[in-house]
Every structure is written in structure tokens, then in C-alpha cells.
Homo-oligomer: A and B are copies of this chain.
Amino acid sequence: MFQQALGAAQGAISAFLAEELARFGGDRVAEGMRYATDGGKRLRGFLALETAGLFDVPPGQALFAAGAVECLHAYSLVHDDLPCMDDDDLRRGRPTVHVKWDEATAVLVGDALQTFAFELLADPRAGDDAQRVALVASLARASGAQGMVLGQAQDIAAETAAAPLTLAQITELQGNKTGRLIEWPAEAGAILGRADPAPLRAYARAIGLAFQIADDILDVEGDAATAGKALQKDAEAGKATFVSLLGLAGAKARAAELVAEAEAALSPYGKRAHNLAALARYIIDRDK
């Protein structure tokens, strides 16, 4: 049932983005925007749709928040893959944007995808004025220099740090780099549902950290072909990871603990939250 719901959300988000991105022309930046937002697990978008669904927000409305967070996430991947950043040639099993086109195009595609995320949130179909401005403000805080971008800067600084990061430092870094953009769609669902965001924030914070621990486990145990990207890059680079700090068994135990925390945070919503509970479990069981 969870897999069905996730598959349906993936289809709906892809159709939504294809339709909304059709406003852009046939130039290479527009093509790159469509390419970079095609595929992926859509976990962030799914979170927006599922949390909004708890409060009976119409899916057609919540798709704007779901599409926006997927565009924001895609922009961060396109820029993160650049030679001057992580220098990755492969993403979702396909050439990265700067490999398929060139670096200038990748810079512009990322830039335009960020802009488009905010354009989607400002769309009259995304909510009333107060909701849309709350979505814009919260996404800006989550993704900017106190959120995701700060995490990326901390990640770069860690590469040249004298000592490997501590557990507290890597938790903070990953909370910024990855966690904030997993928390945002849960907050967006609460904004759209005019509901208290606290339980959903606690849920999302737990799964965000579990997600990153699972990524580190996958980096050690996973299969590059299935993952669609290069693995063991962190270990080779001598970077501290949750696995290097906690050990493989310790990391798995911590991830399981976080999933239990996430499930507990969902208690106010009862059975309506079964897909969100299943998502928490899926996050540590996935193979890519």
C-alpha cells in the first residue's frame, strides 16, 4: 500500500512538473531543467503530499509545494555535482547536467530551478496569499545560508579540516545539508492544512537524520549500479561518516531508533499517517 502510494505520488509529481515546466522553451537551460527534475525517488514531494493529505488539503494544491521542493532539491544536486563541488559524472544512473551539456549550462540550470521553486510557491493555485508567503519564507530559510547552503559549506570546510568531524558536528552538518529540506515539506503540509507543525517537524527531523545514516550505510554496503551513482567516495576521501563514527552495527541501531522516534511523533494522526510511518521504515530499508 505504501509502495502504491509512493508510486502514485511519483507519477503525479512527474506529470505536474512536466506540465509546469512546459512554459519554458526549447533552449538548453529549459531542457536541462526538465532533465534534472526527471526521475528520482520524489521522497520530499511525497512528504508534502502525504502531510498535506492528513488535513484534507486537495492534492492539486499540495502539488505546488511538492513540485517546488523537488525543483529545489534538483537545483542543489546539479550544483553539488559540478567539478568545483563534488565532481560527480553520474546521477540517477545518467550523466550529470555538466557532463551532458557543460558547466555554464549546469550553473544556469541550477539557478533557474531554484527560481522556479519560488515561482511555483507564489502561484495562486498553491494556496491563499498568507499560505504562499509562509511557504516562500520557510523554504528560503530551510535552503539558504542558514540551512542547506550552510550545510554544503560545512561539508566543503570539513574536507580541509585538521581532524575528522565529531558525531555532533556531522549531525549538525547533515541536519543542514539534507535534513532541512526533508523537514520543509512536512512543514509545508502543516502550513497548507493550517495545523500545528510541531509533530510533523519532529517526525521529519528524525527521518531526515535516519535518511543520512542510511545513505552512509548504503555507501558501504550498497551496489553502485543499483544506486545509480558512485559509492564509497566518502570512505575513500577519508571523510567522517555515521558509519566511521558509530560502526556499521551502531549506525544501523541508531537509524532504527530514529525510525521509532518518527513513528511515535505521528501518534496524533492515528491511522491516517500509515504511509508516513511506512516511509520512515522505507528510508532505512531502501537499496538506493
Give the one of A25, A33, A122, A129 with max B CB within 10 A. Answer: A122
Number of copies: 2
Given the interface pairs A123-B137, A129-B130, A136-B133, the reply to whether A112 lies near B29 with Cβ below 8 Å is no
Contact B112 A85 (CB under 8 A): no
Residue among B28, B107, B115 making CB contact with A144, cutoff 8 Å:
B115
* Chain B CB within 8 A of A150 CB: yes
Stretch at the interface among A98-106, A192-200, A223-231, A251-259: A98-106
Given the interface pairs A119-B140, A136-B136, the reply to whether A85 lies near B104 with Cβ below 8 Å is yes
* Chain B CB within 8 A of A114 CB: yes
Contact A145 B29 (CB under 8 A): yes
Stretch at the interface among A57-65, A151-159, A208-216: A151-159
A224 vs chain B, min Cβ distance (A): 24
* Chain B CB within 8 A of A143 CB: yes
In the complex, residue of chain B having the shortest beta-carbon distance to the beta carbon of A120: B140
Q: 1/0 per residue A65-104: CB within 8 Å of B?
A: 0000000000100010010110000000000000000111
Q: How many residues of A contact B (CB 8 A)?
A: 50
* Chain B CB within 8 A of A146 CB: yes
Contact B136 A27 (CB under 8 A): no
A136 vs chain B, min Cβ distance (A): 4
Contact A102 B84 (CB under 8 A): yes
* Chain B CB within 8 A of A149 CB: yes
* Chain B CB within 8 A of A243 CB: no
* Chain B CB within 8 A of A286 CB: no
In the complex, residue of chain B having the shortest beta-carbon distance to the beta carbon of A156: B104
- Chain B residues, Cβ within 8 Å of A128: 129
* Chain B CB within 8 A of A242 CB: no
* Chain B CB within 8 A of A24 CB: yes
9 A-B pairs with least C-beta separation: A84-B103, A119-B140, A115-B144, A122-B137, A129-B129, A112-B145, A29-B153, A122-B136, A112-B149
In the assembled complex, 25 residue pairs joining A and B whose CB atoms fall closer than 8 Å, in A order, are A33-B145, A75-B111, A79-B107, A79-B108, A82-B104, A107-B107, A108-B152, A108-B153, A108-B156, A111-B111, A111-B149, A112-B144, A112-B145, A115-B140, A115-B143, A115-B144, A116-B145, A118-B118, A119-B141, A119-B144, A122-B133, A123-B137, A129-B132, A133-B133, A133-B136
Interface residues of A (CB under 8 A from B): 23-25, 27-30, 33, 75, 79, 82, 84-85, 102-105, 107-108, 110-112, 114-116, 118-119, 121-123, 128-130, 132-133, 136-137, 140-141, 143-146, 149-150, 152-154, 156-157
